[in-house]
Structure 1
Amino acid sequence: MTATRTVELEGHIIDSGMMQRAFGLVMDLDGDFEVEEFTVGKHKDETSYCRMAVVADSTDDLREILHELHQIGANLTDPVDARVEPAPADQVVPHGFYSTTNHPTTVRYDGEWIDVHDIEMDCAIVIEETDDGVRAYTKVLNAIEAGDLVVTDDAGVRVDPPERPRDSSGPFGFMQGGVSSERPSESLIRQVADAMVETKANGGKILVVAGPALIHAGAADDLARLVREGYVDMISAGNGFATHDIERGLYGTSLGMDMETMEHPRKGHKHHIYTISEVIRAGGIEAAVEDGLVQNGIMYECVQNDVPYVLAGSIRDDGPLPDTITDAVEAQNAIRKQAHEADMVLMLSTLLHSVAVGNCLPSTTKVVCVDINPATVTQLLDRGSSQAIGMVTDIGTFVPTLADEVLEGESSVTDGGVDDAAGADGTAGADGANDA
């Protein structure tokens, strides 16, 4: 006996490929479908609509198909209230719990649609009744408490993936499309700079996710400039990034290499561990700045300008610096707090931290990722950060050019900004070779 449910897709479903993916999913999962209504938007500002009946051989097969359709934004035409079950124990969710995407999500509870707060991928949705009403929000599994009302199954849940409209006026403007090392880099850097200026002008926050390669490539002074001038609100990095930045100020080297001559001085390989030792002796990075030990660099500017930073630890860390968070769950929570506050994220030559931060970002956050290695592009996208765009280029060239464009072209946004820019394509990239 077959099972049937009706779903609808609405928006720029043709341009974004949503309709094609929906048809493909049904067929790939051995289902069938019949389009009951199809309306095509004939102008750039018009959306399209498709209602189709989905048929499967059994209820279980249909449930699997509907789950996959739900992930790309197809929703049931006859929604019911979300099913909720209490968590049986701390860190234990009910069987069949709803695992979130990173797209804007609402749940239906007591006949009302409620926005899910703090949306990110791979979490549970918890419903909480308070004196002010009903609240829905995400929780990672290790934060679940016994008794939490957890949403199960896809019923009563709506997902709204960001779409690519027919022009550059969408939520990401120029930030649409694939990756290419052949694209005009200077033009795209200018558009990224405009997006940063516009974000700050609108009161938004910019998070920079950076790896040690940025220091090795000679871009530290320029990132420090952006911090000093107020274009970086938060930094997410690791022990290696901070260590090599401070090492450069103390010894003129990065991982033992002289930043001026590009040679390895005698005993230079010990400079990074000497740096860690001196910062530990001082009592941490902030104390080292206050004592005059650290007098320049990115971490110096962070302390001087009250820019918060999260240094998440790795199994490969030397030392580590006292500021490094060595508890993985604690580090994730600190990264998550930054990610939820960010309106734009720059990921600069670090696969490890880019993926970690990307996992915590909603799909509505602007993400630009830069790396010399195009192979790492797919790793960020495969984790679900489909809104990310990127440049395959040398970080040592990108950051100085970006800083010049931001600091010398602040007024460009008032003349049209990034939303008026031509559509330059890209996805994300990251350098995973120097994360430690």
Structure 2
Amino acid sequence: MYTQRILLHGHIIDSLTLPKTMDTIIDQGGDYEIEELQVGKLKTDKSTAKLIVKSDDEEIFNRILDILTDYGAELIEENEEVTLVASQKDKTVPDNFYSTSNYNTKIRYDGEWLNIDNIEMDCVICVDTENKKATCKPLNAVKKGEMIVTGRTGVKVTPLERSRGKNTFEFMNSEASAEKPTRSIIHKVATQMKEVKDNGGKIVVVGGPAVVHTGCAPILADLIKEGYVDKLFAGNALATHDIENAFYGTSLGVKMETGELVAHGHKHHISAINIINKAGSIKDAVEQGILKSGIMYECVKNNAPFVLAGSIRDDGPLPDVITDSQVAQQRMREEVQDVDMVIMIATLLHSVATGNLIPARIKSVCVDISNASVTKLSDRGSAQVISVVTDIGSFLPILKEELNKLEE
């Protein structure tokens, strides 16, 4: 019989962490015994539970513990420290490496708990033993000789909790649905945005080309100009069609003001790329007075960093597009380190990519007209993301209107 004592502490009743833990143990083929349970009485009180996890099968036992540590369960090991094993080759780690979640994580090393500041999911923890510093790294960034955390011992994960007090950002803490009250949801998104900005925080928008196709490019441009959006993640398509709109008033050859298809308009986006190529870059085109409006124009004028990640389907692409996906991912990883809120709009792949890079503490909203798209993030492990199912052409105008009301 394999056994392990675990500790759960926090709002484990209200957040359903305790019942989820017990269900998981049974569902996975194990058993448990409640050794101690202290339930907080007041809204601010936290609860504590100590359980003994049991299984006759070592594989099942280890699988259960892997899942429970992601729930925030702490293995009771009398402050036993992490086990470190050196990487034998670049981009490789020991077979029993510890795989990170996007929750706040600490490791116990040399008598201290070291916080992993740049935590993200599906990475490994590398420890600089000389400087007593632990960092989170993707597999492709690991170098030979780096000390890698293995197993679960000495690792403490703290998941997001839901207390009995109201949390302003739990307004959609349920399954995504088009039947949710859209305006009230968007009002709460706007309120959260204003709160982040009032506190000196930063907001990044992850946008797809539908932002331009639906006629909302001027709205996003205004949000950048007014300081509500500090950074932009997108692909070649959003930037190209935004610039096409600035030059020709079209997006994919369709006149934005009338919805009419312009003769030979299909070449407008290629012409737009050609103009930027001649200028040298998007920034060069702005500084030369060639590009005078739009989302990308406002990014340049307001020093809002942007990361344009390439795709196999890209025309051109624009000279600013990063065609190496690993390089683009690293640039995005660097830019999210000081971000407090992420709003993902109509771009499934870029949203999943960003969701994988950010810690769970960052407030996140995903907006798409498709239920399947917004729930994909949860399926990929970004459980903290709030999903809003609505048309982008409705979302952005209402968001701008609600932000204007909050400024009055």
TM-score (norm 2): 0.97
Match of 1:118, as an amino acid? Answer: N
Q: What is the match of residue 197 of structure 2? A: 200
- Equivalent runs, 1:67-86 vs 2, <5 Å: 67-78=66-77, 79-86=79-86
Tell me how far apart the structure 1 counterparts of residues 172 and 334 of structure 2 sit (CA, whole Å).
Answer: 24
Q: Secondary structure at the match of 1:250?
A: helix
* Unpaired segments ≥5 residues, structure 2: none
Distance 1:92 1:393 in 2: 42
> Partners in 2 of 1:42 and 1:375 — Cα distance?
39
Aligned partner of 1:370 among 357, 367, 370: 367
Structure 1 spans left out of the alignment, 5+ residues = 412-436
**1:155 paired residue among 153, 156, 163:** 153
What are the superposed Cα offsets for residues 145-177 of structure 1, whole Å, 9 maximum, x if unpaired? 11111000111101100012223237x454533
Q: Distance in 2 between matches of 1:329 and 1:391?
A: 29
Aligned equivalents of 1:386, 1:158: Cα separation in 2: 19
Who is 1:280 aligned against?
277
Verify the 8 A CA contact 2:233 2:306 in the aligned structure 1: yes
- The alpha carbon displacement at 1:410 in A equals 3.0
Q: Which runs of 4+ in 1 moved over 6 A?
A: none
1:260 to 253, 257, 261: 257
Aligned to 2:210: 213
In structure 2, the residue matched to 1:43 is 42
1:60, distance to aligned residue in structure 2 (A): 4.0
Aligned to 2:287: 290
Q: Is residue 367–residue 374 contact of structure 2 (8 Å, CA) maintained in 1?
A: no
Q: Distance in 2 between matches of 1:177 and 1:12?
A: 18
Aligned amino acid, residue 118 of structure 2 = D
Secondary structure, in 3 states, of the residue corresponding to 1:316? Answer: coil
RMSD, matched Cα = 1.4
What is the number of equivalent residue pairs in this alignment?
407
3-state SS of paired residue (1:113): strand
Residue 97 (structure 2) aligns with: 97
Aligned residues of 1:363 and 1:387 also touching (Cα < 8 A): yes
CA distances 1:107-156 after superposition (whole Å, capped 9, x unpaired): 011222110120000000011134xx411110111110111110001111
Structure 2 residue 119 is matched with structure 1 residue 119: yes
1:115 alignment partner AA: N
Q: Distance in 2 between matches of 1:64 and 1:199?
A: 39
- Name the SS of the counterpart of 1:8 in structure 2: strand
- Structure 1 contact 178–389 (Cα < 8 Å) conserved: no
Q: Which moved more, 1:39-48 or 1:244-253?
A: 39-48
SS state of the match for residue 315, structure 1? coil
Instruction: Indicate if the aligned counterparts of 1:285 and 1:299 stay in contact, CA closer than 8 A.
Output: yes
- Higher RCO by CA contacts (8 Å cutoff, separation 6 or greater): 1
Structure 2 partner of 1:418: none
Q: Counterpart of 1:310 in structure 2: which amino acid?
A: V
Match of residue 31 from structure 2: 32
Q: Distance in 1 between matches of 2:64 and 2:181?
A: 41
Partner Cα separation in structure 2 for residue 66 and residue 407 of structure 1:
49
Q: Does 1:379 find its partner at 2:347?
A: no
Could you tell me the TM-score, scaled by structure 1's length? 0.91
8 Å CA contact 1:120–1:360 kept in 2: the answer is yes
> Identical aligned pairs, as a percentage?
49
Equivalent-residue separation in structure 2 for 1:112 and 1:62 (angstroms): 28
Per-residue displacement from partner, 1:179-202 (whole Å, max 9, x unpaired)?
A: 222222212211111111111111
Q: Is 1:309 matched with 2:306?
A: yes
**Could you tell me whether the CA contact under 8 Å between 2:176 and 2:375 is conserved in 1?**
no
Q: Is the 8 A contact 1:168 1:174 kept in 2?
A: no
